[in-house]
Amino acid sequence: MRCGSIFALVCVLGCGDAATNASGSATASVRPSALGSTTARASSSAATRPSASASVSAAAAPKEERPLYYDRAITEEDLRGRSLRELSLLRNTIYARTGNVFRRPWLAEHFKAQAWYKPGNKPEQVEVPKLDRENAEKIGEYDAKLTKEELEKMLAEVQSRASAPRPEDKVELSLLSQRLGRLVGSEAAMASPLEEISRLDKLLSVDDLATLSKRDLRILRNTVYARRGRSFDSKVVRGYFETASWYKPRADYSDALLNEIDSKNIAIIRSVEQSLGGPEHENPNYGKDGWFIQA
């Protein structure tokens, strides 16, 4: 469903400043509760002025902006055609509403620009409403099942406007680098280990992990194993790695295939996870793959 032009992608945990109105919708400069449901907004006049602080201006985006929060069950139509950046914002807006603090600079900057955002709460301190949890799960699953062909098409779209890039393209290329398993936008020296996995050939430092969320850290730790051919029982995690050009699962995989650098990097990643309160784990409210959909 295409929604109106008001600016309302994720996350991979009650709703912070918006807790007083569970039906509120996030916009760029208005509290989440200020505009009511996305259903109501869909019927608004097409002439309604978009939020001035929307992450992509009307001049820069030929497409009509779509909401980044829904107070109803999300459908696949709501997700279809979204960029990886939009899907991430869509998922992470759910946690921003609880006051989640973001380590990823681009996410932190985006949400700090929203008047309704009140950072400070830890995910475990706030109960995310059941509907929001279910929507975060749908977003995460949709993201993870994107095929390599779909991701390559998304990359081609960004590259087609290289002469006149949009402000959000740098983030999109970073996310595409992670999913495709090759660097497609950043300089290798500036890329995180998630974007440029050859960095895992050398010993990581704590500083290398400074901007990664707990979800990112768990993905990176799994990446160390995946590079040696480990397969994953989780359909979501398996889908995430299957689009990477370097991923070649091995039937004979064992941890004995890890080398000394691998083992040390796993330990370093775990140490950072512990400093943030412990590894992102299976939350009983989310199910086995709950960590993957959190912030």
**Residue 57, domain extent:** 16-144
CA–CA gap between residue 10 and residue 92 (Å, rounded): 4
Show the tokens assigned to 159.
């590259």
157 and 278 both lie in a single domain: yes
Strongest mean pLDDT among 89-93, 126-130, 286-290: 89-93
120 and 152 both lie in a single domain: no
pTM: 0.74
70 and 90 both lie in a single domain: yes
289 and 152 both lie in a single domain: yes
Structural domain contains residue 2: no
CA–CA gap between residue 87 and residue 9 (Å, rounded): 3
242 and 156 both lie in a single domain: yes
Report the first-to-last Cα separation within the chain, whole angstroms. Answer: 25
84 and 213 both lie in a single domain: no
Structural domain contains residue 140: yes
Which amino acid makes up residue 277? G
Q: What is the pLDDT of residue 236?
A: 82
Question: Over the stretch 39-90, which tens digit does the pLDDT of each residue have?
Answer: 434 444 343 334 444 444 444 445 568 999 999 999 999 999 999 999 999 9
User: For 33-47, 136-150, 202-216, which range has the lowest pLDDT when averaged over its residues?
Assistant: 33-47
277 pLDDT band (50/70/90 cuts)?
confident
Q: What is the CATH number of the domain that holds 281?
A: 1.20.58.1690
72 and 133 both lie in a single domain: yes
Structural domain contains residue 287: yes
Q: Are 75 and 1 spatial neighbours (Cβ–Cβ below 8 Å)?
A: yes
Q: Which of 151, 209, 214, 140 is nearest to 178 (CA)?
A: 151
* Domain end marker among 144, 173, 199: 144
* Predicted confidence (pLDDT) at residue 14 exceeds the cutoff of 60: no
Bigger pLDDT: 278 vs 149: 149
135 and 152 both lie in a single domain: no
% of residues, the chain, pLDDT over 70 = 69
Q: What is the pLDDT of residue 292?
A: 64
Bigger pLDDT: 90 vs 280: 90
21 and 120 both lie in a single domain: yes
* Domain end marker among 118, 144, 170: 144
117 and 191 both lie in a single domain: no
Number of domains in the chain: 2
Q: Are 30 and 50 spatial neighbours (Cβ–Cβ below 8 Å)?
A: no
Q: Are 243 and 146 spatial neighbours (Cβ–Cβ below 8 Å)?
A: yes
Element (H, E) at 40: helix 38-42
